[in-house]
Amino acid sequence: MYIHLGEQITVHDHDVIGIFDLENTTIGPDTRGLLNRLEQQKRVVNITNEMPKSFVLCKDGKLGEIAYVSPISAATLRKRAVKLF
């Protein structure tokens, strides 16, 4: 099944590693470091022109991880993911 992240972006539920609240998780140095590393590798996809609320970390084949920055809250994205099971 697929999870709609906002705009016209969907990801396969098996590829999702985690769904994170952007405001709360970027405080920690580990998460901030992960996002910085992915951004340097051009592996962060900002899918909104609105205020971002969450990011979804996904597997991306042999390339590793990719982060999608979404205007949809982490709670709403989690609910969408849970409805799939």
How confident is the model at residue 81, as a pLDDT? 83
How confident is the model at residue 61, as a pLDDT? 81
How confident is the model at residue 80, as a pLDDT? 85
Per-residue pLDDT for the chain (85 aa), expressed as one digit of tens each?
899 999 899 999 999 999 999 999 888 899 999 999 999 999 999 998 889 999 999 998 877 899 999 999 999 999 988 765 4
CB atoms within 10 A of CB 1: 11
> Distances from the Cα of 29 to the Cαs of 24, 25, 52, 56, 84, in angstroms?
12, 9, 19, 18, 32
Residue span of the structural domain in which 7 resides: 2-83
Long-range pairs of 49-52 with CB within 8 A, sequence gap ≥ 24: 52/22
> Distances from the Cα of 18 to the Cαs of 49, 66, 79, in angstroms?
22, 11, 13
Domain count, the chain: 1
The model's pTM is 0.90
H/E segment holding residue 31: helix 29-40
